[in-house]
Structure 1
Amino acid sequence: MYCLYAFNGELMCFVHVLLNALDMKDRDKEAIIVFEGAAVKLVPELEKPENPFHALYQKARQAGLVAGACKACSSKLGVLDAVKASGMPLLDDMSGHPSMAAYMDKGYTILTF
């Protein structure tokens, strides 16, 4: 089981998070994605149908691979309303941020991007 924490807000970096999570699923490995740090700003961009990676993002969401986005970072970076509008869960179990230790306690190996 793998938890892919995406901190990097660069779209081309995040595309590899999506590709790897989908590849893991195809290979019967459990994987989830957490939007953290600057990566939360990608949510409203990827929600746009005209974004070239919208379909890939939707495929990952429909496959249940997206665990959610950091609530504190979404608020601080001005995308909280957009993340809420996307229907993505807001993660805040560690002082407003998603806890890596909580995922580790569930057996996930943490990978950061």
Structure 2
Amino acid sequence: MGKYAFLVNSPLGNPGPVANNLEYARDLDEAGHDVVVFFDGQGTQWIPEAEDNPEGVVHDYYMEARERGLIDGACGYCAAFFEIDDDIEAAGVALDGGSEPGVEGPGDHHGPDVAALVGQGYELINVG
């Protein structure tokens, strides 16, 4: 079976790629593949949007991915930049990267570690 890491970078206002790829992640998971979904860049904004907007296009796909345990996290650096890190943590989604200890602001740690994902055998699928 394959290993796939979806990296969601798509901005708000463009729900098609996000919804489609969350559906693809579900389909791969159903087929027995190892699948993780990570929200990065502008894509981090989809987490509070999907959580708070049950009428939105992405909501049902996102919630199903969460229920399946496919949501692996979000970039803490990017979430801090968009000032949504508290919202993402409140949703129960792990933040990867972010502020350095003792440094005000988002710091310079960016997540996920794509080299580590590839080293673990994941094929990266960038959604943007």
Q: Same fold (TM over 0.5)?
A: yes
| Cα separation, 1, equivalents of 2:18 and 2:57 | 13
How far off is 1:97 after superposition? Answer: 2.2
Task: State the TM-score, normalized to the length of structure 2.
Answer: 0.81
Residue type of the alignment partner of 2:16: M
**Structure 2 unaligned residues grouped into runs of 5+:** 99-107
Task: Indicate yes or no: 2:89 matched with 1:84.
Answer: yes
Residue type of the alignment partner of 2:84: V
Residue type of the alignment partner of 1:24: L
3-state SS of paired residue (2:89): helix
Q: Which moved more, 1:48-57 or 1:16-25?
A: 48-57
3-state SS of paired residue (1:92): strand
| Cα separation, 1, equivalents of 2:24 and 2:123 | 14
Higher relative contact order (CA 8 A, sep 6+): 1
* C-alpha RMSD of matched pairs (Å): 1.6
Q: Count matched residues.
A: 113
| Cα separation, 2, equivalents of 1:53 and 1:38 | 15
Task: Indicate yes or no: 2:55 matched with 1:41.
Answer: no
Higher helix proportion: 1
**Structure 1 unaligned residues grouped into runs of 5+:** none
Task: State the TM-score, normalized to the length of structure 1.
Answer: 0.91
Larger Rg: 2
